[in-house]
């Protein structure tokens, strides 16, 4: 596999490249701004901003998790850092050598800490930059690509590292200092991966790593895979029983659409059942084939993590997970021809002909002006049930996505939050915060829908099916299906 | 809603009369000779003088139910918002939107003389079809009116009225429209839920109307608190 040096070089040229967007449809765009980075660390939240660091010095920062710019500062240079917050300290680990730097695989992992990641903060400043693990360039391991795990069960701090040069290793650090526990011996837990990272969920330790070819732009085959173990020290086994020590790994995410070469998983647990992950694409074909940061939903399927997709713009049925019914305008139902005598039963008397869909123009002329009630009803693919979800430029966003407007397809009638924490359709979209919606995919693949702001609301609210057929706004309960929705092709 | 009703009701009343003249009401469905004697048991018992509390899930089981008004509909597909609102806001009998009747009170609707019955439902839902059937009244193509009064020991803000009905229905709390169920509906607990409302400390009047064509009419009503839990510290006691 190729060295990370090439990645760093690519980054340098990417920073000055013009943003080139093509018109082809694709699932959803990667992040806004200038999200050019390679080997991003786990994203941290510090001083009201998001930060991630990459290979080389520096990194990206964002006010909202959607629009990213350069500006993060990380001393030490080197390769593929990771970050974790423990107490009031942000610990950073990075490879100060190895990975082909200086032409060899004698790697070294350094850790350091700062009380802030914001260069403008008086608390910003890294301390105790020193080596916690290393390899000699001969042994079957190259100490690069570090990643932290703070075990939620016992509070122990672990560090994985390694690359395609032999073993992936695990060492224990002191969570009070970020330094190696005295006498700790490295454990081999896998082979031939890059950017390994561990996470814990419901009794399982998951070892994720990037397989495939790095640093070859649109030809990179980078993909993220996973194996799991009941013990932090392994053995880690994939879904078909192949150990990570023998090369196993179940696919979490690979290339799709205009995004090629997915690597460097970093968990973002946003709470309330929303988990996302950061990664980089070796090539965003809509951004000159450069390596960019993205944030995507993390789903769980039968105990295995798998990538979700940020919701692309489009026209959808918005289906309640509670009732299976669809969000709709509160207007008179307009019947279609029922299919001749017998209500459509039996073969047609004449030639088989398609039945035209009910069109918006046939029904919208009779819809009342002004605000309309929103309700939940049997989905029949009718105009009052089809919602167009459109990103709103310059309205900001949240980790992974921009805010959306949600309008009845072909109209400007927009879903809006009200001052009494209910929802209505207003006649015209104005861009007001109560008409902007955050849509997060949850770990089960359903979605949470939240207004950017609801008038007079004292807490974040979400769209909730308070009745079988009645929506409202209420605090989201991750243990309930009331606030879960599906976006389906109508 | 009050404004709409006041403005529209006189005209709607005329239309309703015309409607009854144009469409023959379904005849009272007398029991066949070999049919066993009909009864509203075991679905209902006569409400007694003791205060009645909701069931374990908060469903209101004590109601004043009016024998069904003939409202012929061969199908429930006509129950659009507009149709149901017009049907429910038609004044069929005096003081329809304000009266709290007594057991046995009678009203005249067209050529029908209908009685109010103060009853306790044996179930969480109020089986209107069984009421009509048991009383040898029209069971299909009907409009039922229901009233109850609940006393609350406290003011309860951010409560919601949660209703299920077969078929469409509209419901009012203390004279204000609370929740409406349009379309051809099957009865589902908590099908439609009102916006947040306030239950007064003391007396609260709940009024509803259920319309059905060829269906097994029934409804269920309860109040839930701001966390979705049933409100159960309510009592109903009708005046004799």
Model confidence at B34, in pLDDT bands (50, 70, 90)? confident
Assess whether pLDDT exceeds 50 at residue B23: no
Model confidence at B29, in pLDDT bands (50, 70, 90)? low
Compare CB distances from B191 to A330, A335, A468 and report the shortest one's residue.
A468
Find chain B residues with C-beta within 8 A of A466's C-beta.
Answer: 160, 193, 228
CA distance B96 to chain A (A): 26
Q: Calculate mean pLDDT across residues B111-129.
A: 98
Q: Which pLDDT score is estimated for B31?
A: 58
The chain-wide mean pLDDT, for chain A, equals 93
Assess whether pLDDT exceeds 90 at residue B20: no
Model confidence at A1, in pLDDT bands (50, 70, 90)? very low
Model confidence at B14, in pLDDT bands (50, 70, 90)? very low
Q: What residue has token string 């090539």?
A: A283
Model confidence at A57, in pLDDT bands (50, 70, 90)? confident
Find chain A residues with C-beta within 8 A of B159's C-beta.
Answer: none
Find chain A residues with C-beta within 8 A of B228's C-beta.
Answer: 466
CA distance A450 to chain B (A): 18
Q: What residue has token string 């009494």?
A: A420
Model confidence at B30, in pLDDT bands (50, 70, 90)? low
- B229 touches A at CB < 8 Å: no
Q: How far apart are CA A287 and CA A314, in angstroms?
A: 22
The chain-wide mean pLDDT, for chain B, equals 89
Model confidence at A101, in pLDDT bands (50, 70, 90)? confident
Q: How far apart are CA A81 and CA A110, in angstroms?
A: 9
Q: Calculate mean pLDDT across residues A28-51.
A: 96
Q: Which of B88, B108, B112 is nearest to B25 (CA)?
A: B112
Query: pLDDT per residue over A199-246, tens digit each?
Result: 999 999 999 999 999 999 999 999 999 999 999 999 999 999 999 999
Angle A475-A477-A481 (CA atoms, 0-180°, nearest 5)?
Answer: 120
Q: Which pLDDT score is estimated for A27?
A: 63
Model confidence at B240, in pLDDT bands (50, 70, 90)? low
The encoded tokens of residue A324 equal 């299976």
pTM (2 d.p.) = 0.90
Percent of chain B residues past pLDDT 90, beyond the cut: 84
Query: pLDDT per residue over B138-175, tens digit each?
Result: 999 999 999 999 999 999 999 999 999 999 999 999 99
Query: pLDDT per residue over A313-347, tens digit each?
Result: 999 999 999 999 999 999 999 999 877 666 778 88
Q: Which pLDDT score is estimated for A6?
A: 38
- B85 touches A at CB < 8 Å: no
Model confidence at A348, in pLDDT bands (50, 70, 90)? confident
Q: Calculate mean pLDDT across residues A258-268.
A: 97
Q: Which pLDDT score is estimated for B22?
A: 31
Find chain A residues with C-beta within 8 A of B160's C-beta.
Answer: 466
Assess whether pLDDT exceeds 70 at residue A9: no
Q: Are A467 and B81 within 8 A, CB to CB?
A: no
Q: Calculate mean pLDDT across residues B30-56.
A: 89
Compare CB distances from A467 to B80, B182, B190 and report the shortest one's residue.
B190
Query: pLDDT per residue over A366-413, tens digit each?
Result: 999 999 999 999 999 999 999 999 999 999 999 999 999 999 999 999
Q: Which pLDDT score is estimated for A344?
A: 78
* ipTM entry: 0.86
Beta-bridge partner residues of B30? none
Angle A218-A208-A37 (CA atoms, 0-180°, nearest 5)?
Answer: 40
Query: Which of A385, A467, A476, A479 is the best mutation test for B, with the most CBs of B within 10 A?
Result: A467
Assess whether pLDDT exceeds 80 at residue A37: yes
Q: Which pLDDT score is estimated for B46?
A: 97
Assess whether pLDDT exceeds 50 at residue B39: yes
Model confidence at B97, in pLDDT bands (50, 70, 90)? very high
User: In degrees rounded to 5, what are phi and psi of residue A18?
Assistant: -75, 145
CA distance B234 to chain A (A): 21
Q: Calculate mean pLDDT across residues A353-369.
A: 96
Q: Are B183 and A333 within 8 A, CB to CB?
A: yes
Beta-bridge partner residues of A486? A319
A and B: number of Cβ contacts within 8 A: 40
Q: Taking CA atoms, what residue in B is nearest to A329?
A: B81
Q: Which pLDDT score is estimated for A28?
A: 79
Query: pLDDT per residue over A119-174, tens digit each?
Result: 999 999 999 999 999 999 999 999 999 999 999 999 999 999 999 999 999 999 99
Percent of chain A residues past pLDDT 90, beyond the cut: 88
Q: Calculate mean pLDDT across residues A418-430.
A: 97
- Using a 10 angstrom Cβ sphere, with 0-12 exposed, 13-18 middle and 19 or more buried, the burial of residue A182 is exposed
Q: Are A470 and B77 within 8 A, CB to CB?
A: no
Q: Which of B131, B126, B139 is nearest to B73 (CA)?
A: B139
Q: Are B191 and A469 within 8 A, CB to CB?
A: yes
Q: Which pLDDT score is estimated for B25?
A: 39
Q: Are B82 and A468 within 8 A, CB to CB?
A: no
Q: Taking CA atoms, what residue in A is nearest to B190?
A: A467
Q: How far apart are CA A308 and CA A241, in angstroms?
A: 24
Strands B192-193 and B156-166: antiparallel
Q: Are B195 and A332 within 8 A, CB to CB?
A: no
C-alpha gyration radius of chain A: 25
């Amino acid at each position: 596999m190729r060295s990370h040096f090439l990645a760093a070089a690519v980054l340098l040229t990417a920073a000055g490249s013009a943003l080139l967007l093509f018109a082809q449809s694709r699932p959803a765009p990667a992040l806004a701004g200038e999200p050019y980075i390679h080997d991003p660390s786990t994203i941290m939240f510090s001083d009201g901003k998001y930060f991630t660091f990459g290979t080389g010095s520096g990194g990206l920062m964002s006010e909202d998790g959607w629009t990213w710019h350069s500006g993060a500062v990380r001393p030490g240079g080197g390769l593929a850092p990771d970050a974790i917050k423990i107490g009031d300290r942000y610990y950073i680990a990075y490879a100060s050598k190895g990975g082909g730097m200086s032409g060899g695989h004698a790697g070294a992992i350094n850790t350091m800490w700062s009380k802030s990641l914001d260069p403008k903060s008086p608390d910003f400043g890294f301390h105790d930059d020193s080596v916690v693990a290393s390899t000699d360039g001969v042994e079957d391991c190259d100490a690069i690509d570090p990643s932290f795990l703070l075990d939620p069960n016992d509070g122990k701090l672990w560090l994985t590292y390694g690359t395609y040069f032999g073993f992936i290793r695990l060492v224990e650090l002191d969570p009070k200092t970020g330094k190696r526990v005295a006498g700790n011996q490295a454990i081999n837990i896998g082979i031939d991966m890059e950017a390994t990272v561990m996470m814990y969920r419901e009794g399982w330790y998951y070892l994720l790593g990037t397989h495939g070819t790095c640093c070859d732009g649109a030809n990179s085959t980078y993909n993220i895979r996973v194996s799991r173990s009941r013990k932090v020290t392994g053995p880690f086994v994939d879904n078909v029983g192949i150990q990570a020590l023998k090369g196993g790994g179940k696919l979490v995410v690979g290339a799709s659409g205009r995004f090629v070469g997915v690597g460097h998983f970093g968990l973002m647990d946003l709470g309330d059942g929303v988990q996302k992950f950061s990664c980089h694409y070796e090539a965003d074909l809509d951004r000159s084939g450069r390596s960019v940061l993205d944030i995507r939903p993390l789903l769980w399927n039968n105990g295995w993590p798998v990538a979700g997709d940020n919701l692309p713009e489009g026209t959808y049925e918005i289906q309640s997970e509670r009732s299976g019914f669809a969000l709709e305008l509160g207007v008179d139902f307009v019947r279609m021809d029922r299919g001749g005598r017998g209500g459509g039963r039996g073969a047609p008397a004449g030639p088989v002909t398609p039945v035209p869909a009910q069109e918006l123009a046939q029904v919208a002329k009779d819809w009342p002006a002004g605000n309309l009630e929103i309700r939940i009803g049997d989905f029949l693919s009718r105009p009052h049930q089809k919602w167009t979800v459109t990103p709103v430029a310059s309205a900001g966003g949240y980790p992974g996505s921009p805010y959306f407007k949600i309008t009845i397809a072909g109209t400007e009638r927009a879903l809006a939050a009200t001052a009494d924490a209910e929802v209505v359709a207003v006649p015209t979209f104005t861009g007001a915060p109560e008409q902007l919606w955050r849509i997060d995919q949850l770990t089960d693949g359903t979605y949470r829908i939240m207004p950017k702001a609801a008038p007079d609301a004292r807490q974040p609210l979400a769209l909730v099916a308070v009745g079988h057929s009645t929506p409202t706004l209420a605090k989201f309960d991750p243990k309930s299906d009331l606030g879960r929705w599906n976006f389906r092709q109508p | 809603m009050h404004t709409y009703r006041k403005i529209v009701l006189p005209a709607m009343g005329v239309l309703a009369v015309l409607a009854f003249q144009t469409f023959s009401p379904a005849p009272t469905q007398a029991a066949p000779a070999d049919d066993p004697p009909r009864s509203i048991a075991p679905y209902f018992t006569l409400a007694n003088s003791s205060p009645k509390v909701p069931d374990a899930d908060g469903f209101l089981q004590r109601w004043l139910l009016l024998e069904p008004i003939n409202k012929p509909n061969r199908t429930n597909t006509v129950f659009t918002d507009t149709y149901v609102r017009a049907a429910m806001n038609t004044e069929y009998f005096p003081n329809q939107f304000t009266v709290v009747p007594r057991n046995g009170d009678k009203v005249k609707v067209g050529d029908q003389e209908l009685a109010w019955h103060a009853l306790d439902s044996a179930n969480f839902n109020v089986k209107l079809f069984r009421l009509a059937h048991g009383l040898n009244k029209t069971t299909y193509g009907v409009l039922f009116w229901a009233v109850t009064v609940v006393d609350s020991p406290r003011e309860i803000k951010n409560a919601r009225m949660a209703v299920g009905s077969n078929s469409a229905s509209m419901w009012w709390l203390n004279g204000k429209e609370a929740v409406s169920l349009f379309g051809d509906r099957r009865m589902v607990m908590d099908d439609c839920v009102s916006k947040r409302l306030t239950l007064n400390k003391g007396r609260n009047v709940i009024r509803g109307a259920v319309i059905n064509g060829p269906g097994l009419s029934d409804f269920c009503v309860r109040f839930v608190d701001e966390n979705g839990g049933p409100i159960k510290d309510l009592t109903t006691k009708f005046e004799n």
